[in-house]
Amino acid sequence: MLSVGTPVYNLYLRALGAEVGRGAVLFTGHVPVCTDLLTIGAGAVIRKDSFLNGYRARGGFIEVGPVTLGADVFVGEQTVLDIGTVMGDGAQFGHASSLHAGQAVPAGACWNGSPARPAEAGYGYRTAGTARCGRLRRAWYGGIRLTGILFIAGPLEAAAGALLWSRPRFLGGMPELDSVVGAAALVAGLIVAGLVVAGTVPRLLTRLLTPGRTYPLYGVHFTVQRLLSSWSNFRAFHLLFGDSALITGYLRLLGYRLGKVVQTGSNFGTTFRHEVPALSEIGTGTMVSDGLSMMNADFSSTAFRVVPAAVGPRNFLGNDLAWPPGARTGDNCLIATKAMLPLAGPVRENVGLLGSPSFEIPRSVLRDKRFDELSAEPGLHRRIAAKTRHNLVTMALHLLVRFALVCWLFAVALLPVTSRGWAGWAGTAGLIAADLAVMVTLFVVADRAVTGFRPLQPRFCSIYQLPFWRHERYWKVSSVLFMHMFDGTPFKGVFWRLLGARVGRRVFDDGCAISERSLVSVGDGATLNMAALLQSHSLEDGAFKSDRITIGRDCTVGTGAFVHYSVTMAEGSLLEADSFAMKGSDIRPGARWLGNPATEGTSAWGSSKNASQQSAVTAANGRRCSTGRLEPGSTTRTAPSTWTSSPGQER
Domain spans in the chain, listed from the N-terminal domain onward: 7-118, 133-176, 177-321, 383-601
> Closest Cα partner for 297 from 273, 321, 317, 315?
273
Q: CB count, 10 Å around CB of 448?
A: 18
What are φ and ψ of residue 535, in 5° steps?
Answer: -115, 110
Provide the residue type at 443 as one letter. F
Percent of the chain scoring above 70 in pLDDT: 86
Q: Which residues contact 30 (CB under 8 A, 6 or more apart)?
A: 49, 50, 51, 52, 53, 530, 531
pLDDT of residue 7: 92
Provide the residue type at 254 as one letter. L
Q: CB count, 10 Å around CB of 122?
A: 11
Cα separation, 574 vs 589, whole angstroms: 9
Q: How confident is the model at residue 254 (pLDDT cuts 50, 70, 90)?
A: very high
Mean pLDDT computed over 349-374: 82
Q: How confident is the model at residue 181 (pLDDT cuts 50, 70, 90)?
A: confident
Cα separation, 231 vs 224, whole angstroms: 10
**What are the beta bridge partners of residue 335?**
317, 353
Q: Which residues contact 318 (CB under 8 A, 6 or more apart)?
A: 289, 334, 335, 336, 337, 338, 339, 647, 649, 650
**What are the beta bridge partners of residue 508?**
527
Mean pLDDT computed over 4-26: 94
The pLDDT of residue 637 is above 80: no
Percent of the chain scoring above 90 in pLDDT: 72
Give the CATH architecture of domain 7-118: 3 Solenoid (2.160)
Phi-psi label, residue 342: left if phi above 0, alpha if psi -120 to 50, beta otherwise? beta
CATH code matching the domain that covers 383-601, chosen among 2.160.10.10, 1.10.10.10, 2.40.100.10, 2.60.40.10: 2.160.10.10
Cα separation, 64 vs 62, whole angstroms: 7
Cα separation, 267 vs 187, whole angstroms: 27
pLDDT of residue 148: 81
Whether 367 contacts 648, CB under 8 Å: no
For the chain, helix (H) and strand (E) counts, in that order, are 13, 47
pLDDT of residue 425: 75
Whether 559 contacts 594, CB under 8 Å: no
Mean pLDDT computed over 6-33: 93
Strands (E), 88-173: 92-93, 98-99, 104-105, 110-112, 117-118
Cα separation, 2 vs 74, whole angstroms: 23
Give pLDDT tens digits for 379-419: 888 999 999 999 999 999 999 999 999 988 888 877 766 55
The pLDDT of residue 495 is above 90: yes
Mean pLDDT computed over 79-106: 96
Q: Which residue has the higher pLDDT, 372 or 60?
A: 60
pLDDT of residue 246: 95
Burial of 552 (0-12, 13-18, 19+ CB in 10 A): buried
Strands (E), 394-491: 459-462
Cα separation, 110 vs 194, whole angstroms: 42
Q: Which residue has the higher pLDDT, 284 or 368?
A: 284
Cα separation, 545 vs 566, whole angstroms: 10
Q: Are 7-118 and 383-601 the same fold in CATH?
A: yes
Q: How confident is the model at residue 167 (pLDDT cuts 50, 70, 90)?
A: low
pLDDT of residue 607: 34
Q: Which residue has the higher pLDDT, 150 or 132?
A: 132
* CA-based torsion, 173, 174, 178, 182: positive or negative: negative
Q: Which residues contact 207 (CB under 8 A, 6 or more apart)?
A: none
